[in-house]
Amino acid sequence: MGVAFRGVGCVRGLLGNVCLGTTSYFNAQFSCSKWARSMSLVPIVLDKTNHGERAYDIYSRLLKDRIICLMGPINDEIASLVIAQLLYLQSEDKKLPIHLYINSPGGVVTAGLAVYDTMQYIRPAVATWCVGQASSMGSLLLAAGAPGLRFALPHARIMIHQPSGSAHGQASDIKIHAEEILKMRKILNAIYATHTKQPIEQIEKWMDRDYFMTADEAVTAGIVDRVLKEAPSAKTEVHGQPHSIKKPSSC
């Protein structure tokens, strides 16, 4: 069973098809394939070096500046790419922070948790930036950034809610899947509570339904630390934070 965070317009159920509507398996696959096709139009940029000019796709060039872009639905393929980049940047420098830009409607819980665990595992601090939206698993990864390094742009939207999934077959099998979703919900609630410093009761209340937040409301909720209205101007800082900032020991 693939457990996924629900998307907007998803209809709840207790058994059988727990998730129906816009985030059905077919529509999720269609959305991912459509996003993948758009990635074929990635711009190429030229970078001047001592040996002449070198061509990069835009994402590889950003990676040189320790910037990772998580754009689109979170599935196993996207998670694998993000994890590989996190591990690569750790091997390059264990002290400089990594910047994870998020514009995602969410996706598969297990894929998102793989990225989450890697963020907590590696030694560099991971700064998270919400541009556009961070919904569902996207909001969890946003909240999981290093304390003081979680940002949102002014018109970003953040949404949290409980996970859902679908199951079919014998009644005993459906019961097993339903119990697994409940276990997953408990795990996700605990993660949100850890990073937002909110009481678990408050997290459970928010997660019961789709809970939308503006960037400023996300600051109040503890999901992000600051709303940035303009880029930092100090040349000694990377996106408003010192180059050598270290991950807190609690992460």
Sign of CA dihedral 122, 128, 132, 133: positive
Angle (nearest 5°) at CA 195 between 245 and 184: 135
Q: Which residue shows structure tokens 């910047």?
A: 99
Annotated active-site residue 161? The verdict is yes
Helices (H), the chain: 25-38, 58-64, 76-92, 109-121, 137-143, 171-196, 200-207, 215-221
Amino acid identity of residue 30, one-letter, is F
> Of 31, 135, 136, 166, which is the active-site residue?
136
Q: Which residues contact 140 (CB under 8 A, 6 or more apart)?
A: 112, 116, 160, 188, 191, 192
> Of 99, 161, 177, 195, which is the active-site residue?
161
Q: Are strands 126-135 and 150-152 parallel, antiparallel or unpaired?
A: parallel
Q: Are strands 98-104 and 67-71 parallel, antiparallel or unpaired?
A: parallel
CA gap 223, 147 in Å, rounded = 10
Residues acting as catalytic residues: 136, 161
